[in-house]
Chain A
Amino acid sequence: MRFRIMLLFTILFITLTKTVVFAHGSNQGGSDHHARVGELANFEGKLETTGEGKSPYEVQFHALRLEDGAEILSIKSNSTDGSYKFAMQFFDGAEHQVSIALINPATKSVLVEKKLSVEVEGFHPPFAVKFKTLAFLLFVIAFGMVVGVSVSRWGKTKRNWKGDHPHVA
């Protein structure tokens, strides 16, 4: 009976906890772009050329994770008129900053730069993964218990052979 109650509580706990997780220090709203873990986030547009330099321009794309300043993606593409199209997936449910810069290919100087803050929605792992991991870790403990019990029973067997009767059930 008690085992069934514990099993019910475990399953409820795993399934009913909120699926969406927020990173530390995230306050809702106030970011330019929203993205979700598991989906590609599209960045498409056009940077206005100021007349300096001549095409083909270089468009440099940087994605930075703000939690620890880690560079997630740094990629460039050539563009004749400043238009760009990049798609990447943000795998961490934290705040990121994307900067798209138009670069003069001759002097490598930045002509126009656009910075966007991206808030990424993270999710709990799928139920199957949680269940498998929980079952695996419980199995490891159960394995240890089986070994522990067999060690203690081996000790009892040896004592019985020696003629000691400990009145154990």
Chain B
Amino acid sequence: MSKAAFISIIAIIFAVFAISSATASEPVTVNVQKEQGGNARPDLDTAKVELTFADIQNGTAHISLRSPERKFFSPTDFPMVEGTDLIDATLPIENGKATFQYMFPIRGDYHLKAEVMNGEGKAAGTHKLVINIKENPKEVRNAFLFLSILIAFGLAIGYVLSRRRKNVYAV
């Protein structure tokens, strides 16, 4: 394949991606913030969850929120809650927005399913969204501190108990 053909193929692929990302628009987007702005911490901040609908101005959305699935490593603060259903309710959509306040229990990726109905009560699509809640930074810092204290403790014990011992033959 000639060099020119190769470069032109790459350019076309790049252009296709650039154009498609510019024109693609999400039918539903979700925004999760603390009341004062900023990331909501699990089990501490009541977050304001705002769903914005591009196609519907007035209607209802039946939402169902599911907690992050259990991971093999790194269990969370409430292991019983991992992988369970959290909310199942119907919200009104006013001016293309639906909001509610919720305190997320654990960190991770929450799955939100929204079944939308327009003003006349006709089904207008089902949308799946992902909400990511980051762990409380203080908890992460405390976890590292705790682990370093444990390592230091192990270090001290390992060193002290294996130092040279006198009068070994007396044992």
Q: Could you list which residues of chain A lie within 8 angstroms of chain B, going by C-beta atoms?
A: 37-40, 58, 61, 70-78, 85-89, 91-92, 122-123, 125-126, 129, 132-133, 137, 140-153, 156, 166-169
Contact = CB atoms under 8 A, between A and B. Distances in A.
Contacts, number: 146
B66 to A, nearest CB: 10
Contacts of A153: 162
Interface in B62-92: 73, 75, 78-81, 84-92
Interface of B: 43, 46, 60, 73, 75, 78-81, 84-92, 100-103, 105-106, 147, 150-166, 168
B41 to A, nearest CB: 12
Given A89-B81, A149-B159, A167 B105 contact: no
Given A73-B103, A78-B60, A89 B155 contact: no
- Chain A interface secondary structure, helix, strand, loop or mixed? mixed
B155 A147 contact: yes
Given A144-B150, A145-B155, 9 more contacts: A74-B101, A74-B102, A85-B90, A126-B79, A141-B151, A145-B157, A148-B159, A149-B161, A152-B163
13 contacts: A37-B80, A70-B103, A75-B100, A76-B92, A85-B89, A86-B89, A91-B105, A129-B75, A143-B154, A146-B158, A149-B159, A151-B158, A168-B164
Given A74-B100, A74-B101, A140-B151, A148 B87 contact: no
A166 B164 CA distance: 7
A72 B103 contact: yes
